[in-house]
Amino acid sequence: MLNNRQEHKGIRLILIGLGNIGRRFLSILDRKAAHLDARYGLTFKLVGAADSQGAAFHPRGLDVATVIGLKGQKRSVADYADCGSPGMAALELVQRVEADALCEASPVNLQTGEPGLSCMRTALSKGMHVVTDNKGPLVLAFAELAALARQKGVELRFSGTVGGGLPAINLGQRDLGGATIEKLEALPNLTTSFILDQMARGLSYAQALAAAQAQGCAEADPSLDVDGWDAANKLVILAHSVLGVPATLADVQVQGITQITVADLEKAQAEGKAIKLVAQAVRQANGTYALTVAPTALPASHPLARLSGQQMGIVYHTDIYGTISAAITEEEPIPSAAAMLRDLLSIYA
């Protein structure tokens, strides 16, 4: 992280999506501005931002605190004085505004990937780097986006899409060079971990789900999480980015946690095990990977067995690097938002 270079770089950013992640990302940029300048010689300038109501942009940069303030008042960034443009679509913003990198944090859309997918395509085509926390476009169009980035000589980074702030993808891409990954196991979904954790303490599935919803860690419609599809999405991204396998959701055998009972958890506990929703890729004799998401009883010695409802983790079983595991405790989605900063620094620092 040391950087003794003296030159100073100004980086122009466009941010799409001003929800939980986008706003936290802006707060981090704001809070860390002096540190990023001193340590890396970098100034990030927000030249454009869009939410679902419109956009705002200015070539000299928007005031980040003002944008955060508008969102805190449940208003749109389009209300930004003199710079706002109500009704302007995110895609139009990306098309019109000159910037160095797109930060894409719009809502996950697993049917179309929009608006993120078009924004990412456009940004890459314009020669902008793209960092994103948005799984949708990657699950739907990983190969296309990666090829476009290569062709344009720019970076596409997405370390926050699997396990929030956990560097699951970076570990697999950067630290296992030359290895054969025999097996990968992950707990990439906080909602299901939280629910199973509560059920292990005696709550019924319905009670645990209600507790998760009350804490804001489950959606009103929890099906994406509890049916295992969120974990499957993350497994597809790991398959592309780490295993080199162009998988789609159709390649993943998915089973959620809705059939798990307190009796199942008690039985596992009695055997010294813990039931977790594990996303897994197992290398087959022919070199392909079997991809599954399923509730799995893990023995107490397993690195993922003792993770709590606020932790996510991954284990890589390799031929030459032994077994490497990593976990994150993420009580709020701040690390997920910080992952976009990590990705920017991996490009520019």
What residues make contact with a copy of itself under the rule CB under 8 A?
A: 1-2, 4, 28, 32, 35-36, 39-40, 146, 150, 159, 165-167, 170-180, 241-242, 244, 301, 303, 306, 308, 320-331, 334-335, 338-339, 341-342, 344-346, 349
Select 13 or 242, whichever has its Cβ closest to a copy of itself.
242
Please give the structure tokens belonging to residue 147: 């090829």
Task: Walk across the sheet containing 101-104 and list its strands.
Answer: 84-86, 54-57, 42-51, 9-16, 101-104, 129-132, 156-157
Greatest extent of the chain over all pairs of C-alpha atoms, in Å: 65
Least distance to a copy of itself, CB of residue 121, Å? 19
Please give the structure tokens belonging to residue 304: 């993922």
Select 72 or 177, whichever has its Cβ closest to a copy of itself.
177
Select 35 or 201, whichever has its Cβ closest to a copy of itself.
35
Nearest alpha carbon to residue 249 among 270, 230, 272? 230
Least distance to a copy of itself, CB of residue 86, Å? 32
Q: What is the rounded CA–CA span in Å between residue 198 and residue 169? A: 28
Q: Contact at 8 Å (CB) between 177 and 233?
A: no
Select 294 or 349, whichever has its Cβ closest to a copy of itself.
349
The amino acid sitting at 8 is H
Q: Contact at 8 Å (CB) between 16 and 106?
A: yes
Select 273 or 342, whichever has its Cβ closest to a copy of itself.
342
Least distance to a copy of itself, CB of residue 177, Å? 3
Least distance to a copy of itself, CB of residue 257, Å? 23
Q: Contact at 8 Å (CB) between 161 and 238?
A: no
Select 80 or 142, whichever has its Cβ closest to a copy of itself.
142
Cα 343-348-349 angle, rounded to 5 deg: 95
DSSP E strand boundaries for the chain: 9-16, 42-51, 54-57, 84-86, 101-104, 129-132, 156-157, 181-187, 252-254, 273-283, 289-299, 311-318, 323-329
Any idea which residue has 């976990």 for tokens? 327
Least distance to a copy of itself, CB of residue 205, Å? 25
Residue 275 CB neighbours (<10 A) = 20
Backbone torsion region of residue 272, taken as left when φ is above 0, otherwise alpha when ψ lies between -120 and 50, otherwise beta: left
Least distance to a copy of itself, CB of residue 49, Å? 20
Least distance to a copy of itself, CB of residue 282, Å? 18
Partnered with residue 107 across adjacent β-strands are none
Select 102 or 166, whichever has its Cβ closest to a copy of itself.
166
Residue 105 CB neighbours (<10 A) = 26
Q: What is the rounded CA–CA span in Å between residue 235 and residue 252? A: 8
Q: What are the catalytic residues?
A: 234
